[in-house]
Amino acid sequence: MDAKNRFETRTTFALSRLEWLGFLAVSLVLAFQHRTDIRWGVFVLLFAVIDVIGYLPGAIAYRRSPDRRVARGYYVAYNTMHSLVTAGVIAGAWALFVRPEWALLALPVHLMGDRALFGNSLKPFGVAFEPATDPHYAEFEKRRRTVFPGHPSGPESGTDPVEGTHAVRA
């Protein structure tokens, strides 16, 4: 994936998820090591608020919508609450105005869990709010598999350079 070709192969997407899994593991190890220091009510609140504000309203609207379309505001809410920048701002504000504490690990545990375990990241406008293969992308993927004749990894070589290529879906 690069700035001009914003799609990932199965391998590059798996590598990204592996990085997120590493960060999730570090967060979980820290939470386990400091389990007696964590205010678990605060942990649960911080963990839940991400989805209560960012996911549930859009998910409900999506399921209620006859054409499965939802307003852009639901995407903005999701992306805002599932952003590492927002998590950093929340953690910084909490540390400044409440106190620094281990319960703040709920933020990376939630976000890295979403990314590593479920493959969810930010939701782009124009795709379904819930994960579904966009028909335009499926067609692109199908066309993309047909490599120019004579290409070193073309169909006659028996290899497919974009095998399993798919968009990052939220």
pLDDT tens digit string along 45-100? 999 999 999 999 999 999 999 999 999 999 999 999 999 999 999 999 999 999 99
- Inform me whether the pLDDT recorded for 41 exceeds 60: yes
**166 SS3 class:** strand
What are the C-alpha distances in Å from 29 to residues 22, 48, 57, 102, 119?
Answer: 11, 20, 31, 12, 21
Q: What does the pLDDT read at residue 143?
A: 77
CA distance 3 to 30: 34
> Crossing angle for the helix pair 40-54 and 84-97, nearest 10 degrees?
140
- Inform me whether the pLDDT recorded for 108 exceeds 60: yes
pLDDT grade for 1, boundaries at 50, 70 and 90 = low
- Whole-number average pLDDT of the chain: 87
Taking residues 134-162, what's their average pLDDT? 61
Q: What does the pLDDT read at residue 170?
A: 41
Helix (H) or strand (E) holding 106: helix 106-118
9 touches 162 (CB < 8 A): yes
